[in-house]
Structure 1
Amino acid sequence: MIDVLVLDVNETLTDMEPLRDGFEAAGLPRHTLDEWFAAVLRDGFALTAVGAYAAFRDLAADLLTAHLVAAGLEPTEETVGNVLSGFTRLPLHTDVAPGLQKIHEAGIRIVTLTNGAAAMSENVFKNGGILSFLEHRLDVSVPQHWKPHPDAYRYAADVCGVPVERMALAAVHPWDIDGARRAGLQGYYIDRRKTPYPQAFREPDLTVPDFEALAVAISR
């Protein structure tokens, strides 16, 4: 049993597919989203590895500017801002609200922890009907270490006032699960796409297809 469930946000809770419309409107191929998002994570991880920090939006804007320039497009502030503002309008995956409601009703505290900005997701959570389930909405701007650095998870534990071993992280990203487990948390892998879990990472404590299944597994 756990006291606190920590949730990753981007892709774990939110469906990022609508962001492709913003890339297309900016003149970029829709598949650019995948390369761009991976590059944002890469650069955030790289800075954390050398003891430095940059905000998600700053890295996201720089890399989007680079994509626009490489495509021969003008990287105006308006264009970049329009694409990035799409994060504030993303839908939740359909399993998220019913699953989190059951977890909340079971008395498990729920917080979010994102490498992005917590403020960007407020309307997403409000529109998706889960804002009231969330005790805290946290991001890495305070510890200034991106997940999967252990300080990010320890920061969440400090805010919640519980030891890390009484917490679990739920995410679709194996690197996030691995980081949480190395920091002392349990790791719950949300495997919507039936993707084999990498053998190089520490195994999750639990693998489920979605949050409704997670609710059944941890609310007994």
Structure 2
Amino acid sequence: MAASQIQAKPKVIVFDVNETLLDLEQMQSSVANALDGNTQLLPLWFSTMLHHSLVSTVSNDYHDFADIGVAALMMVASNNQISLTKEQAKQAIVPPLLSLPAHSDVKPALAQLKQDYKLVSFTNSSNNGVKAQFQHAGLTDYFTHRYSVEDIKVYKPDLRAYKWLLEQLNVAPQEALMVAAHGWDVAGAKQAGMQTAFIARPGKALYPLAKQPDYIVKNLEELALLLTQK
């Protein structure tokens, strides 16, 4: 469904990658195993990783997102009296992260949208990381370009990240649609003036204090149907 008045047709659609396009279930299983099978610690690990990506940004001390994930996993393990080495944490995250499958709705939706729109991706992961992810998931050919915060060393949802992206695309904010399954990502993009679409995947929620996105849909196929009717 649309959450607000329908916007003008965007010139480019920008996709977040992890969880929006790619299914993190196998990586979550690997991380849970590293935490002695305690699945209740998974949300804490992910929020700790996001928290410290913002610490990295505001303190001007950039680190690769996967490295932050490893560090966050070690912190959660330590705080819960779980023995975990840096190498064990790395193996729990990096190989699974690079071999994630696409959600089942992704390829049909991208194929439909590619007929009418320029599609790009924008991720907090590294350039090499998303290249490997797209190759494994079979998504490379759907996109005109892949963008990473690695090139600006400022993590989403910092407004500077979206401003930089718009400069690379050479479009006005309202001419780009940011698509993400993260409330914090659509909140940042909306604050930067972009059109936004929230993919309400299981367990994902919008930030109530942020501006509402232009579209709220349950999956990408629903969004593709709305956008191809423009």
Trace 1:16-95 onto structure 2 (pairs within 5 A): 16-28=24-36, 29-70=38-79, 71-77=81-87, 79-84=88-93, 85-95=95-105
**Are 2:135 and 1:140 equivalent residues in the alignment?**
no
> TM-score with structure 2 length normalisation?
0.86
Amino acid at match of 2:218: P
Q: Distance in 2 between matches of 1:195 and 1:26?
A: 24
TM-superposed deviation, 1:76:
4.2
1:90, 1:124 within 8 Å by CA — same for their partners in 2? yes
1:14 maps to 22
- TM-score with structure 1 length normalisation? 0.90
| Cα drift, residue 75 of structure 1 | 0.5
Q: Distance in 1 between matches of 2:204 and 2:136?
A: 29
Unaligned residue ranges in structure 2 (runs of 5+) = 1-8
Where does 1:195-214 land on structure 2 (aligned, <5 Å)?
197-214=206-223
**What's the % identity of the aligned pairs?**
27
CA shift in 2, pair 1:81/1:214, >3 Å: same
The worse-fitting range, judged by mean Cα deviation, of 124-133 and 65-74 is 65-74
Matches of 1:21 and 1:100, distance apart in 2: 27
Shift of 1:145: 1.2
Deviation at 1:126, TM superposition (A): 2.6
Alignment of 1:102-117 (within 5 A): 102-106=112-116, 108-117=117-126
Which residue identity is paired with 1:7?
F
1:187 to 196, 203, 220: 196
Show structure 1 runs of 5+ residues with no match: none
Shift >4 Å, 4+ stretches = none
Cα distance in 2 for partners of 1:67, 1:204 equals: 32
Deviations 1:57-99 (A, max 9, x none): 221121222234443414042x122112210111111111111
Helix, strand or coil at the partner of 2:39: coil
| Paired positions, count | 218
